[in-house]
Amino acid sequence: FDKDLIGSRVSFFEMNHRDLTPLDRFIPPEGARAFVYNLGYLPGGDKTMTTLVEDTLRSLRSAAERTALGGIICVTCYRGHAGGAEETALVREELVKLPQSDWRVVEHTPLNWPASPILITAHRFEMPRKKLPKRNVAPIYEAEKGKLH
């Protein structure tokens, strides 16, 4: 990427995502506008060194607390390596717990490339919404059964 194109609008931190407290001195009082995760292993790196589920879930909870109104959490999940499918499932499970009144969580999944990475985004509303009744939750598609429920 070209740092000259983004200027001072974006800060990059090379660190383990397990603990976000070192970032607190850089986050404005209203919160961070974005947290971006690229899970799995470093492309072109050692494929035996991957993100750990426990660290990822802890970090996501911490990021949700630090996300500004109108902010977003973006998580790219790689399902094709050892532990990747489990981490993806647990990330999905964690983010879907965010309250509907404050967050919209969306999964972007390529349909014709089953082992490809997926992107899960959690957008924090500028203004909280009223709590939606359970029936407004989108149906879940069970591919192996070929039906909605």
- In this predicted model, what pLDDT tens digit does every residue of 116-146 receive, in sequence order? 899 999 999 987 666 655 544 445 444 444 4
CA–CA separation, 40 vs 87, rounded Å? 9
For residue 132, the model assigns a pLDDT of 58
CB 82 within 8 A of CB 115: no
Of the two residues 14 and 38, the one the predictor is more confident about is: 38
Above 80 in pLDDT, residue 6?
Answer: no
HSE on the CB side for 136, CA within 13 Å? Answer: 7
Of the two residues 5 and 105, the one the predictor is more confident about is: 105
48-101: per-residue pLDDT in tens? Answer: 788 889 999 999 999 999 999 999 999 999 888 888 899 999 999 999 999 999
CA–CA separation, 134 vs 100, rounded Å? 10
For residue 15, the model assigns a pLDDT of 75
Of the two residues 56 and 11, the one the predictor is more confident about is: 56
Is pTM beyond 0.85? Reply is no
Tokens of 54: 């426990």
For residue 79, the model assigns a pLDDT of 85
DSSP state at residue 100: T
CB 30 within 8 A of CB 69: yes
CA–CA separation, 126 vs 132, rounded Å? 17
